A and B are shown apart, each in its own frame.
Chain A
């Protein structure tokens, strides 16, 4: 007997999310016929009710805060809504500094060594960040993460992480925020600048084996981090406007780190990772130059970062890829 095909409406989700939902259920029910047509998930009677319920819950997660920042049925932020955030936090005052910083490096080309450019640009960027955020501590860690943190973060199972020494199982910096978690005990904002290393199959000028980053790492309550996230999105808007190339600020995901579709889907639904992506006509593609990532309790559970009442302090970070920013500014300067 052939069972009847029923449908679940996914029309309230952006196309990218619809595809992730399809992928999730195809993986979960690999023996069932499931397909996506005209924004409807078509599936058999036997799993219809369960999936309908789950999709309702997914809808509830997606609808949280979506109207505040995003275009209708889209993972891209609405520029007008971000302009409202710039006004809300009085960040018009930094527009001039950001414009001047970007303009200076747009015209610099290959005149001086990349290392000097990175350090000089970073000084300008750091001053702007210090003007927006109340940073408690700045750090310039060494290139190798300690064994304790490497182990807690299970870098040995991360194929992108680069082993520094086989005996003591330490790793080169995968992300700079990794240096903060073992030391933090309370609400704080820390700024970290240093080198990161990635073990990749292919490299190009936007995907280097070693690159320089500045990261801000935030530890606070859920509510406070939501405020800080709005400030970050407003800063992305100001930076995007100042570069002079087409850009978008949108929800991203860690599909390059994990192939766990369920985790990727929740990351997208929760809008945890937001990136500023700038289009370079020279490469004909969008390049992510800044990325903010909301971790929730993920790291505070691993490192027991708790308040007095033992509830977990939430964390979030935002990274600025200095090499990528400079490359993008060179492209912008050439056009």
Chain B
């Protein structure tokens, strides 16, 4: 699931921040997305992209706070779409 999460991040966040996340992914899995350097504009882009690709509910979007939470949601929708 890490690969999918990174794929989504790469499209939506600034390059330097993406590279740092890619390098420290395991260590940063439970940290808040803002603690990884994602700012509110990047966060918004991420939400819009995820909303478009998976048609998430508002509750799903609200729960997107960490890399792990993105994995959980992607897994949920992956299973649903399987």
**Can you list, as one digit per residue, whether each of B15-56 has a CB less than 8 Å from chain A (1) or not (0)?**
000001000100110011011111111011001100110000
Contact at A311–B35, with CB atoms within 8 Å?
yes
Q: How distant is the Cα of A263 from the Cα of B61 in the complex, in angstroms?
A: 20
Give the contacting residue for A54; candidates B31, B38, B48; CB below 8 A.
Answer: B48
Contact at B27–A296, with CB atoms within 8 Å?
no
Chain B interface, DSSP helix/strand/loop, else mixed? helix
Q: Knowing A262-B41, A263-B41, A309-B27 touch, does A297 contact B35 (C-beta < 8 A)?
A: yes
Q: Which of A59-67, A94-102, A156-164, A281-289 lies on the face that meets chain B?
A: A59-67
Give the contacting residue for A53; candidates B38, B40, B52, B58; CB below 8 A.
Answer: B52
Give the contacting residue for A297; candidates B39, B41, B61; CB below 8 A.
Answer: B39
**Can you list, as one digit per residue, whether each of A157-173 has a CB less than 8 Å from chain B (1) or not (0)?**
00000000000000000
Q: Which residue of chain B has its CB nearest to the CB of A49?
A: B52
User: What count of chain B residues pass the 8 Å CB interface test?
Assistant: 23
8 A Cβ contacts from A282-335 to B: 296-298, 301, 309-314
Q: How distant is the Cα of A266 from the Cα of B42 in the complex, in angstroms?
A: 11
Contact at A297–B37, with CB atoms within 8 Å?
yes
Contact at B35–A57, with CB atoms within 8 Å?
no
Using A267-B40, A297-B39, A311-B24 as known contacts, list a sample of 9 further A-B pairs with CB atoms less than 8 Å apart, ordered by residue number in A: A56-B51, A60-B47, A221-B35, A270-B40, A297-B34, A301-B37, A309-B27, A312-B35, A314-B35
Residues of B that sit less than 8 Å from A by CB: 20, 24, 27-28, 31-32, 34-41, 43-44, 47-48, 51-52, 58, 61-62
